[in-house]
Structure 1
């Protein structure tokens, strides 16, 4: 540019000395800046287009890397998405090596790249090439995540899973994929809490791993209310020493840990609280506690079971209790590994309802923070391998029907429950495993927060189940561009 300026000043001096009035001199003075303007316009426009494409490609690549942050193919995904958005040979640009800096502690990915183009007109003024650069940085958003796994523990989970092993073994392996993705290499995680609710025809509401001792039962005074089962006014509720769940009456000495749904067989929805969270006062009823199931046991002489509701209380309460929300990876891993004794029938509404109560801060479970310091996501991952069936020993006392005849009533309760949960802001992911049934598919799509991926999934085999759990884990870890 300096030589151009000297040349132009030289022309101007000669023009001032020249008295001939020739128009050629005027043209000679004007042509150099005209060429310069055209050169700048064409070549800089090309450079701007390259820089814009470079920035967009880096943004897309960083998002891909963020989604696969802890996976072996993370860098491959970054390169693939960059190449897809910046085609080879675009405007004849030459690219530098892509810089990928990953900070595992801060969960951040930084990308940087330059692109160089050969000039066309600017070569006339000795500028042979132009180089532009772009960068992108992405990190996992600092949001709180409260998540509950609601895992089907009905008897069919002992069946073989396509791909090897049993269905419950496949569910355990897939759950570990989710936990590894969310926790990464950390033993604990700030703003991350995870709980576990195993379920079959009912839910064991004891804290998992604890032992019930009826000698430690106690009662607590509460404002007077009418017991919805007896109609009698009472001013106390009862507790077992190993559960935060209040009871309408004291559990028996051999109570196994399960409770009935808060449902009355009187064709009046206004006094049923099975689809609601926490302690509930309804138009025609007050549910300040739950009714404990029991005593339960193996069939005795004559084919009946002790403590039967309709003469055949033969569906056992699971030995697995609830793992409340907590943020230590090993605790939830141990609880998942302990899921080894599936038994009984399928009551999806029971499992989903107690997952919701475990997830939210109102009583009975209060581990979730009422008002976290950052934005929070609440989610339930619900896995089942079968359609709902009723039974005398289920949480509904068999009043919704026995076997598949109960399905219509149970599915209706489940849909109503899911509507309440989603309206409270909780995200529901449903996973239909191994059982390819169109009616169950329709139900699970309705229960989920959306009818398709990432909210509803069908997993035909073990490998696809692990892939789905990975997708769910990545989806709940929302991302945002920080630059």
Structure 2
């Protein structure tokens, strides 16, 4: 390019010194705009190449900074930004390279990197333009979509075999670690845990709550109390007294404070919904959650929280016992996301987007719910393909919640059709045949939920 520039200058100088005629002078003057346009195209093309390289380096710098931006002060953030950028932007044909970086948590965590450079011109300098400035900006955002994750975990008796309970605890705690690391501030990630077998445990301390239906519990828990009633009457001329006594037996329910916290399925079709009982539930008892004194009551569920210590402690205390009712675990995981009864769903900040997730893990087929011991009938409460996919799963997905389902199949069972259909898409269903594989599946789900988004 310099040789071309020198040749052009010599050619213009020759025109300027030529006195052989007016035509040459006129042609030289007329050529100046043409030369300017050609020069501008050449210099702009070069500047555009520099801008492309600049933008690529800015994108890479923003993404690199996002890894530890939350732990850096302004000076360190700026220093790392400069070092990252210089390592990737190696154009020797520019000058006055400047870069700045900033970190914010408003509306989600984000790193923004701005950069500029001066590109010397080669041809346009003839027209008085000695340099062109190019600039760019890149933003790496994460946490702008907040996560709310509900884990519906099978803790039935079969989880005691093949190392499944041990694997579940390890995989769940590793997932909690992933989710915790994805939060840059409290509230970015909430997690709920719902252990289930045939029932779920909402906590015995709720025995005085108005959302509980005690009718069946009162019928099943109590004792017969005998009472004797005597009456005295006077008979005969002498007014002799006659005493007659009768004994009756009355069923007296136990005090509700002896309840163990177990809840069974609601009346149909509220067993597939998250409608919250209200003050009118006295006249609509099917909305209430029925108490049950189930001897194999699972560990108490925990609603949405970022108390990672308590969440891990709950996982440590899980014990395998009871039969399988995936539907009740699923609907209570959904209840955890929307709130109601013993569970509180924190309010949402309008500055954020929210992604709501249910992860359903089970190691077997459905065996028992409040109404049946038929797998087919229990499965239909979850997902009924004969009715265009109605049921709990369909209701959850239509509400905007994403369902991941994981079948841990160490016993040679067939693939669970209901769990596969329940997942939001085919890539969100896993069927694994070893307990140890559970950790990899949970890790893959966690990675999917927490990966960064780059926005330009």
TM (norm. structure 1) is 0.62
In structure 1, the partner of 2:202 is 205
Q: Which runs of 5+ in 2 are unaligned?
A: 1-9, 72-76, 219-252, 384-390
SS at 1:195 equivalent: strand
Q: Is the 8 A contact 2:265 2:271 kept in 1?
A: yes
How do residues 278-289 of structure 1 correspond to structure 2 at under 5 angstroms? Answer: 278-279=275-276, 286-289=285-288
- Tell me if 1:324 matches 2:299: no
2:367 pairs with 375, 380, 390, which one?
A: 390
In structure 1, the partner of 2:30 is 30
Give the number of the structure whose alpha-carbon radius of gyration is greater.
2
Distance 1:120 1:272, change over 3 A: same
Structure 1 distance, partners of 2:104, 2:317, is: 30
* 1:353 CA drift (Å): 0.8
Structure 2 distance, partners of 1:365, 1:330, is: 20
For residues 380-435 of structure 1, what are the alpha-carbon distances to aligned partners after superposition, in whole Å with 9 as ceiling and x for unaligned?
332424232314xxx325x142xxxx1x3222222210111122232323344565
* 1:97 CA drift (Å): 9.9
Q: Which runs of 5+ in 1 are unaligned?
A: 1-6, 207-211, 231-248, 264-270, 297-315
* 1:277 CA drift (Å): 0.8
Distance 1:221 1:142, change over 3 A: closer
Q: How many pairs were matched up? A: 386
- Tell me if 1:464 matches 2:432: no
* 1:261 CA drift (Å): 0.8
Q: Is the 8 A contact 1:58 1:111 kept in 2?
A: yes
Distance 1:119 1:219, change over 3 A: closer
* 1:254 CA drift (Å): 4.9
* 1:351 CA drift (Å): 0.8
* 1:250 CA drift (Å): 7.3
In structure 2, the partner of 1:312 is none
* 1:356 CA drift (Å): 1.3
* 1:348 CA drift (Å): 1.6
Distance 1:155 1:449, change over 3 A: same
Distance 1:140 1:364, change over 3 A: same
Structure 1 distance, partners of 2:177, 2:215, is: 45
For residues 306-331 of structure 1, what are the alpha-carbon distances to aligned partners after superposition, in whole Å with 9 as ceiling and x for unaligned?
xxxxxxxxxx221x101122343333
Q: Is the 8 A contact 1:148 1:197 kept in 2?
A: yes
* 1:94 CA drift (Å): 8.0
2:332 pairs with 354, 366, 369, which one?
A: 354
Distance 1:204 1:424, change over 3 A: same
Structure 2 distance, partners of 1:114, 1:194, is: 43
The structure carrying a bigger helix percent of its residues is 2
* 1:273 CA drift (Å): 1.9
SS at 1:335 equivalent: helix
Structure 2 distance, partners of 1:343, 1:360, is: 28
Distance 1:350 1:295, change over 3 A: closer
Query: What RMSD over aligned residues (CA atoms) do the two structures have, in Å?
Result: 5.1
Structure 1 distance, partners of 2:166, 2:195, is: 16
Q: Is the 8 A contact 1:99 1:113 kept in 2?
A: yes
Structure 1 distance, partners of 2:331, 2:30, is: 82
Distance 1:197 1:101, change over 3 A: farther
